Amino acid sequence: MEQFRSFDQLRTNELTVTRNGFFRPCFELTDGQFIYGNLSYANLWKTTMILESAQKKWIIKRKGILSRSLLVKDINEMQIGIVTPEILSRKVKLSMNDGFEAMYLNKKLFTRTFSLTSDQSGDILDIKTTLWGFKKPFTILVDLDKLNKIPNMPLLALLGVNLILIKQAQAAAAAGAGG
């Protein structure tokens, strides 16, 4: 974790996510000069994700084999939150044990922007999928005013990227099964 720069030292509101590797990709959250976080997979089947930043490390796992919910755990395997997709909706609810609640959603129907909003803080960040961006598939816009007010900002950004990757994998599997 010493290779990451602290998110408190972020001076720009635009970050990019770079992809490293093909079969077992690793995604880095960077501003072009420093790396602020990392998303990697713990196994080949991509059922366990590891999110790292300068301060903490989180583990994301499915709640069960057929469950759509994801558990957010700390490095000691203690559950600190849950991510639950709403049924018949494109919204995904994040509930943390410390009382923080937010919603990942696409604000418009045909958009490449995935936003994180909460009732307490308003818009927190936007994750935009780039067209034809294999090496740099995502751009993240962070509200710098909310950076110190909201804990675990690297978790929120990397978790949003993970949710987009899950949706892309599900869409690819559905297209392959129907074709």
pLDDT (tens digit per residue) in 96-107: 999 999 999 998
Please report the pLDDT score of residue 117 as a whole number: 95
Assess if residue 58 is contained within a domain: yes
Please report the pLDDT score of residue 58 as a whole number: 97
pLDDT at 44 over 80: no
pLDDT at 179 over 60: no
Assess if residue 4 is contained within a domain: no
State the residue range of the domain holding 88.
Answer: 12-173
pLDDT at 86 over 80: yes
Q: What's this model's pTM, rounded to 2 decimal places?
A: 0.91
Q: How many domains does the chain have?
A: 1
Alpha carbon distance 116, 92 (integer Å)? 9
Residue 56's pLDDT band (boundaries 50, 70, 90)?
very high
Q: What percent of the chain has pLDDT over 90?
A: 63
Residue 154's pLDDT band (boundaries 50, 70, 90)?
very high
Residue 178's pLDDT band (boundaries 50, 70, 90)?
low
Assess if residue 57 is contained within a domain: yes
Please report the pLDDT score of residue 134 as a whole number: 82
Strands, DSSP E only, in 31-158? 35-41, 48-53, 57-62, 70-74, 79-85, 92-96, 101-105, 113-118, 122-129, 138-142
pLDDT average, residue stretch 37-50: 87
Alpha carbon distance 35, 20 (integer Å)? 13
Assess if residue 3 is contained within a domain: no
Residue 149 vs residue 52, higher pLDDT:
52
pLDDT at 46 over 90: no
pLDDT average, residue stretch 55-83: 93
Assess if residue 103 is contained within a domain: yes
Q: Is 37 exposed, middle or buried (0-12, 13-18, 19+ CB in 10 A)?
A: buried
Assess if residue 6 is contained within a domain: no
Please report the pLDDT score of residue 1 as a whole number: 61
CA 119 remoteness from chain centre: 19
Assess if residue 5 is contained within a domain: no
Assess if residue 179 is contained within a domain: no
